[in-house]
Structure 1
Amino acid sequence: METTMKDDAHLKRERQKRKLKVIFAVAMGIVPIATFFLPYVNYTFKDSTFVLSAYQILTSPGIRFQGYLISIPLLSKIAVLCGAVLALTGGALLLLKKPGLAGTGFVLSAATPLIVLMTSSSIQTAVTSLGVSNIIISYQWPFLLTLILGLAAGVLAIWTKGGEKLAESIFRIFACVSVGSVVIITVYMIVSGAPAIAEIGLGNFLFGTEWEPKSGVYGILPLILSSIAGTVGAVIIGVPIGILTAVFLSETAPKWVASVVRPAVQLLAGIPSVVYGFFGMLIIVPAIRSMFPGQTIGDSLLAVILILAIMVLPTIVSVSETSLRAVPVSYREASLALGTTPVKTIFKVTVPAAKSGILAGVILGVGRAIGETMAVIMVAGNVVQMPSILGTVRLMTTGIVIEMSYSSGLHRQALFAIGLVLFVFIMIVNIAFTYISRKGVQMERD
């Protein structure tokens, strides 16, 4: 009897705790809606300050400055509206005893201020095109309140189902962060770069051979081809060296040799890009100039390829070695027992078994080669022209960095469009490598 009474009291306390969690979650989720009409963001352009609430962001056509109407991005309007709707929906779902969906609604509402933050760059670009460089964009406490309370409300809503469910949901949320980041970056790049491509023309932009911002000519074919040539050249040189080094470290190197080579390779990964650039500028460029006198100034596509080939090595070696070491010893023993030589065992058994991991290392190396900027700036020469092995070139990444500081208007938007093209290029490379890897694994299973 006494045990039953204790159990009843315990259940009663749990119900009371759950009710409190529900009340606090609903309050936290809905409180930001009460701040919908309070100062949300401050825009300071030169000596003029504009304070907008979330309601004004939603309903106002734009900000009038120096006789011009600077429109508020449509994505910002959608974000503040969705923030309010999702918060209300989360509160209603929680009262209807659907904490999982309610928590999702609250978390999504908390993410909407970040979208407003990202889209503010288009306002900054529009003001910069008017010749104003003193631009300050600051966010007020309702902005932070929406973010913090939305996350807290989501956690409390899911917590009403118990601690285990909360832990599972937190794991799921963090697992979705990477996917959400890719989606947000993709949307941001499209919103930032698509208008310039639409104004210039897709064909003129991608296949134009001249880049003259002062004349309003924006053709990036030389930049695209230079980036592809530099990446492909670095892969042709760096991948075989990296894979063979990984094979040496994991299969044939004596322990004392591996203890020297492995830290040296790992040290390459920690060297800053600017140091690689100095090395290329002081060693590789003069070497190329002396090897081809009168044919090149040294700053060239060849220098870019060599410096990128060195930079991708630590990634490829580290990932490939780890994959090779993960191959079961029984594979090697079975191959040797059949009379196969150690070298054939390595290339016919061990390397194919570690193929997916090696390919992952190659993908990471290619990603670094495509996205490298600082070292490339210092050895490429940075002249926009069709690529030749001994000629100066400008890659897409260096084009963005060199001109972003003084660009404005369509010129600035065109640089964002280059970033969009680079982003699509990297996505295509990653998808292609992933497809090849999966197809290889499927063929092995069949």
Structure 2
Amino acid sequence: MENRLTDAQRDRRKAQKTRIVRILAIVLGVVSAASFFFPYITFVFKKQVYSVSALQLLTVRGMRVAGPKLTGIVSIPVLTRIAVLAGVVLALAGVVLMLLKKAAPAGACYILSALTPLIVLISTSDIQSAVTQLNVTQMSVRYLAPFLLVLLLGVVCAVLALWTMGPERLAQSVFLVCACVSIGSVVIITIYVIVSGAPAIAEIGLGNFLFGETWAAGSNQFGILPMILSSIAATAGAILLGVPVGILTAVFLSETARPAVTKIVHPAVELLAGIPSVIYGFFGMLVIVPFIKQCGEFFHWNTQGDSLLAAILILAVMVLPTIVNVSETALRAVPVSYREASMALGATPVMTIFKVTIPAARSGVLSGVILGVGRAIGETMAVIMVAGNVANMPKLLGSVRFLTTGIALELSYSSGLHRQALFAIGLVLFVFIMLVDVLFTYISRKGVQMDAE
């Protein structure tokens, strides 16, 4: 009887704790929604200060900004309006669902409301672009307490809502949220790049932007075909040189090298991965570029040294650590029984490596190649120092400019359509990398299906 009473009391206390947690989640959700009406962000344009609430961000037409010669209305980005509205709606939806004891949907609403300040954060950068058109260079944005409350209380309320379902469900939900962080990051970055770059493409014209051969911001000519072709040529050249060397190095480390040699080569490869990009750029500028220039003088080539070839050589070295490490891990994961079976059938060690081990590790090797392609396409600092940075059509010994370097060189002083065009370059680069990733993934899966058949 005492045990039954003890169990009943324990259940009663557990129910009371759950009720308290639910009430706390409801109260904090209301506080998060109420922050919609308090000062949310402060914009400072020289001596003009605007402290606006989330409600004002949603309803006002814009902010009047006076420049040295021009005065204009800076409008609030549409994405900002959508984000602040979604923040309060999702917080209130979480409160209602908690009142209905729907903990899982309430937790989802709360965590989504916590993401809305991040969308506001990335979308308000468009205001800076609009302000620079009025020749106002002194601008700052301050995010106030309600802005942080929406972010923090959304996370806290989500945890409390899921807590009411029990510790096990809370732990599973935390694991799920952590797994979704990467997906959420990609979604937020994708939204930001599209919102920032699409208007420029619409104004310039997709054909003129992608296939135009002249980049001259002063005359509003924004053609990026030379940059696209230069980026493709440099990436293809780096992969053509780096992939065979990287895969064969991985084969050496995993299949044929003695342990004493592996202890020397493997740290050397790891060291390559740890060298900063600017050091690669210094090496290329002080060694590779003068060497190409001297060869040009000797063979009567028309080159100054800083060229597409120099960028290819630097990138080929920079992709090696990624390809070697991932490929080596994939090769070591191939079961020993595969090698033993091949040797038992009379194959030589070299035949076993190329006919059995590498095909069995194809998916891992392709993953290394994909990561290497991403490193080559996205590299900026090193190629700025060796490529010459002139938007010419690609020639092996001529100066070129890549998509990444075009953004890095001009973003600091750009404004208006010029700035939007640079964001559009980022959008093109993003889509290009996604297409490469999808292509390699398709090839990898196709290879696995053929092996299974």
- Taking the TM superposition and a 5 Å limit, the aligned residue runs for 1:273-288 are 273-288=277-292
2:183 pairs, out of 164, 179, 188, with 179
Moved more, 180-189 or 286-295: 286-295
Query: Structure 1 regions of 5+ residues with no counterpart?
Result: none
What is the match of residue 83 of structure 1?
A: 87
What is the match of residue 442 of structure 1?
A: 449
1:369 aligns with 2:376: yes
Q: Secondary structure at the match of 2:41?
A: strand
1:396 aligns with 2:403: yes
Moved more, 24-33 or 361-370: 24-33
1:139 pairs, out of 140, 143, 161, with 143
What is the match of residue 52 of structure 1?
A: 52
1:31 aligns with 2:31: yes
Normalised by the length of structure 1, the TM-score is 0.99
CA distance in structure 2 between the aligned counterparts of 1:151 and 1:217, rounded to whole angstroms:
46
Q: Root-mean-square deviation (CA), in Å? A: 0.7
What is the match of residue 352 of structure 2?
A: 345
1:210 aligns with 2:217: no
Q: Secondary structure at the match of 2:40?
A: strand
CA distance in structure 1 between the aligned counterparts of 2:122 and 2:435, rounded to whole angstroms:
24
- Taking the TM superposition and a 5 Å limit, the aligned residue runs for 1:16-415 are 16-66=16-66, 67-293=71-297, 294=300, 295-415=302-422
Q: Which amino acid aligns with 1:396?
A: L
Pairwise CA distance, 1:344: 0.3
Q: Which amino acid aligns with 2:143?
A: Y
CA distance in structure 2 between the aligned counterparts of 1:371 and 1:420, rounded to whole angstroms:
13
CA distance in structure 2 between the aligned counterparts of 1:92 and 1:46, rounded to whole angstroms:
43
Deviations 1:176-196 (A, max 9, x none): 111111111111101000001
Normalised by the length of structure 2, the TM-score is 0.98
Q: Secondary structure at the match of 1:4?
A: helix
Moved more, 59-68 or 371-380: 59-68
Moved more, 246-255 or 59-68: 59-68
Deviations 1:11-64 (A, max 9, x none): 000000000010001111111222222110000011111110010001011111
Deviations 1:129-172 (A, max 9, x none): 22111110011100001110110000000010000000000100
CA distance in structure 2 between the aligned counterparts of 1:435 and 1:130, rounded to whole angstroms:
48
Q: Secondary structure at the match of 1:390?
A: coil
Q: Secondary structure at the match of 2:141?
A: strand
CA distance in structure 2 between the aligned counterparts of 1:437 and 1:371, rounded to whole angstroms:
22
Pairwise CA distance, 1:94: 1.4
Pairwise CA distance, 1:440: 1.0
CA distance in structure 2 between the aligned counterparts of 1:442 and 1:159, rounded to whole angstroms:
43
CA distance in structure 1 between the aligned counterparts of 2:80 and 2:140, rounded to whole angstroms:
18
CA distance in structure 2 between the aligned counterparts of 1:290 and 1:80, rounded to whole angstroms:
60
CA distance in structure 1 between the aligned counterparts of 2:395 and 2:404, rounded to whole angstroms:
18
Aligned residues: 446
CA distance in structure 1 between the aligned counterparts of 2:186 and 2:448, rounded to whole angstroms:
26
Deviations 1:308-339 (A, max 9, x none): 00000000001100110111111101110111
CA distance in structure 2 between the aligned counterparts of 1:99 and 1:309, rounded to whole angstroms:
52
CA distance in structure 1 between the aligned counterparts of 2:147 and 2:281, rounded to whole angstroms:
41
Q: Secondary structure at the match of 1:40?
A: strand
CA distance in structure 2 between the aligned counterparts of 1:283 and 1:65, rounded to whole angstroms:
50
Q: Secondary structure at the match of 1:178?
A: helix
Moved more, 287-296 or 274-283: 287-296
Pairwise CA distance, 1:128: 1.4
Q: Which amino acid aligns with 1:111?
A: L
CA distance in structure 1 between the aligned counterparts of 2:433 and 2:36, rounded to whole angstroms:
39
Q: Secondary structure at the match of 1:251?
A: helix
CA distance in structure 1 between the aligned counterparts of 2:165 and 2:413, rounded to whole angstroms:
54
Identical-residue share of aligned pairs (%): 65
Q: Secondary structure at the match of 2:36?
A: coil
CA distance in structure 1 between the aligned counterparts of 2:150 and 2:397, rounded to whole angstroms:
55
Q: Secondary structure at the match of 2:37?
A: coil
Deviations 1:84-133 (A, max 9, x none): 11111111111212101100000001111111111011001111122111
CA distance in structure 1 between the aligned counterparts of 2:237 and 2:410, rounded to whole angstroms:
26
2:423 pairs, out of 416, 420, 427, with 416
Pairwise CA distance, 1:400: 0.5
CA distance in structure 1 between the aligned counterparts of 2:76 and 2:113, rounded to whole angstroms:
20
Q: Secondary structure at the match of 2:188?
A: helix
Q: Secondary structure at the match of 2:413?
A: coil
CA distance in structure 2 between the aligned counterparts of 1:391 and 1:131, rounded to whole angstroms:
37
CA distance in structure 1 between the aligned counterparts of 2:136 and 2:243, rounded to whole angstroms:
47
Q: Secondary structure at the match of 2:263?
A: helix
What is the match of residue 14 of structure 1?
A: 14
Moved more, 5-14 or 67-76: 67-76
What is the match of residue 431 of structure 1?
A: 438
Q: Which amino acid aligns with 1:58?
A: L
CA distance in structure 2 between the aligned counterparts of 1:280 and 1:267, rounded to whole angstroms:
17
CA distance in structure 2 between the aligned counterparts of 1:2 and 1:227, rounded to whole angstroms:
77
